[in-house]
């Protein structure tokens, strides 16, 4: 079977031609620097990625779930409360787009207030407004129209459709998500920059080796490959370690569903865990490009 040339070259690059690589002496420092940088950057990249995903989920949830619920707050003199409540419910159930309107019970209201005032609050004896939870249908309802009707029929009602505070939150979450991706890009760019520096250092330190290889008839591509292969492999193994450490660290964050906390929700869900696996190959690709550019330039200058 004939192996296509590009496949053969790719294979050589991955597993290496051990003989060629031996021509370039291993330098402890740049090797260590490259692996360490790759590991650290992969570790950070896992977090940046997780951050983006979490921000994305948050944005989705806020724009999805919260968009479906609204609250009607009802304040009225004690004598009119029951009548106004009944009217409000009547208005709501006849409004197109409202799937369900439900008066929150005293116990529910107590539960809502508990975090603020502690248990044992005598809800019944306080002049608290009544709360009606509205669940919308798919297409939502006409909030302005509803407000107008309520104003006419139930003067003490205030409709809170959450848009006012939801929109900036959704925008913030979306912004956070783009910042996460930007962080990923910056991590990739600085990985490239650092590997370029390390490769340049290695090329400069090995000027004599390059000279000898040339004297015995080595072509530029061959010499470049010896460096590129080594840096690509080091980056790949470093990034693998960093990615594994990053994923382990994410798994170790204590998980709780309380309030759908953003911090505790940092991580991946389901198939999302496959995403960080792309980091090591991407890092290797960055290293390949960076070292190749550095080597090609250096070999041209050394002629």
Partner 1 sequence: MIELSHVAYSYGGGELFSDLSLTLSPGSFHFLTGPSGAGKTTLMKLCYGELIATAGEVRLFGEDARQMSRDGIALARRRIGVVHQDCQFLDHLPVSENIALPLTVAGRKDKGIQDLADLIAWVGLTKQASQLPPELSGGERQRAALARAVIMSPDVILADEPTGNIDWEMSQRLLRLLVELNRMGKTVLVATHDMALIRAAKQEVQSRVLRLTERRLQLAGADL
Q: Which is nearer to partner 1, 3 or 263 (CB)?
A: 3
Cβ-proximal residues to 276 (8 Å cutoff; 6+ apart), any chain: 45, 46, 49, 50, 243, 246, 247, 268
Q: Which is nearer to partner 1, 86 or 212 (CB)?
A: 212
Residue 130 φ/ψ region, left for φ over 0, alpha for ψ in the -120 to 50 degree band, beta for the rest: beta
Q: Which is nearer to partner 1, 12 or 99 (CB)?
A: 12
Q: Which is nearer to partner 1, 102 or 211 (CB)?
A: 211
Q: Which of 9, 14, 25, 178 binds partner 1 (CB under 8 A)?
A: 25
Q: Which is nearer to partner 1, 103 or 218 (CB)?
A: 218
Q: Which is nearer to partner 1, 125 or 208 (CB)?
A: 208
Residue 258 φ/ψ region, left for φ over 0, alpha for ψ in the -120 to 50 degree band, beta for the rest: beta
- Alpha helices (runs of H) in the chain, residue ranges in sequence order: 5-15, 18-23, 28-64, 81-93, 106-117, 143-153, 163-205, 207-215, 220-252, 279-301
To the nearest whole angstrom, how small is the minimum distance from the Cβ of residue 25 to partner 1? 4
The 10 Å CB-count burial string (b at 16+, else e) for 70-109 is: bebebebeeeebeebbebbbebbeebeebeebebeeeeeb
Choose the binding region for partner 1 from 17-25, 59-67, 100-108, 232-240 (rule: CB under 8 A): 17-25
Q: Which of 13, 23, 201, 245 binds partner 1 (CB under 8 A)?
A: 23
To the nearest whole angstrom, how small is the minimum distance from the Cβ of residue 300 to partner 1? 8
Residue 22 within binding range of partner 1, rule CB under 8 A: yes
Number of residues that bind partner 1 (CB under 8 A): 20
H/E stretch holding 98: strand 98-103
Nearest CA to 99 among 133, 50, 123, 126? 133
- Give the per-residue contact string, 200-229, with partner 1 (x = CB under 8 A; - = no): ---------x-xxxxxxxxxxxx-------
Residue 20 within binding range of partner 1, rule CB under 8 A: yes
Judged by the rule CB under 8 A, the positions of this chain that interact with partner 1 are: 19-20, 22-23, 25, 209, 211-222, 299, 303
């Amino acid at each position: 079977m004939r192996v296509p040339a590009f496949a053969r070259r790719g294979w050589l690059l991955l597993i290496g031609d051990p003989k060629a690589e031996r021509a370039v002496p291993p330098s402890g420092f740049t090797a260590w620097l490259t692996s360490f940088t790759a590991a650290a950057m992969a570790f950070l990249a896992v977090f940046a990625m997780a951050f983006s995903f979490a921000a994305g989920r948050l944005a989705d949830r806020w724009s999805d779930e919260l968009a479906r619920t609204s609250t009607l707050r009802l304040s009225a003199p004690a004598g009119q409360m029951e009548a106004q409540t009944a009217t409000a419910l009547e208005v709501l159930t006849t409004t197109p787009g409202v799937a369900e309107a439900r008066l929150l019970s005293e116990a529910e209201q107590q539960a809502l207030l508990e975090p603020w005032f502690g248990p044992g609050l005598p809800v019944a004896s306080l002049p608290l407004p009544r709360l009606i939870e509205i669940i919308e249908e798919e297409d939502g309802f006409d909030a302005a129209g509803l407000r107008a009707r309520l104003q006419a029929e139930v003067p003490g009602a205030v409709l809170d459709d959450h848009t006012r505070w939801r929109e900036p939150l959704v925008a913030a979450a979306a912004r956070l998500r783009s910042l996460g991706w930007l962080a990923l890009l910056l991590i990739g760019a600085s990985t490239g920059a650092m590997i370029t520096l390390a490769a340049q250092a290695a090329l400069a330190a090995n000027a004599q080796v390059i000279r000898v290889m040339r004297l015995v008839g080595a072509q530029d591509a061959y010499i470049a490959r010896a460096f590129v292969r080594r840096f690509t492999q080091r980056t790949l193994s470093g990034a693998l370690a960093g990615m594994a450490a990053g994923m382990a660290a994410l798994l170790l964050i204590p998980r709780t569903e309380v309030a759908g906390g953003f911090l505790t929700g940092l991580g991946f869900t389901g198939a999302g865990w496959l995403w960080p696996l792309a980091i090591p190959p991407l890092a290797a690709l960055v290293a390949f490009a960076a070292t190749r550019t550095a080597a090609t330039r250096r070999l041209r200058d050394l002629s």
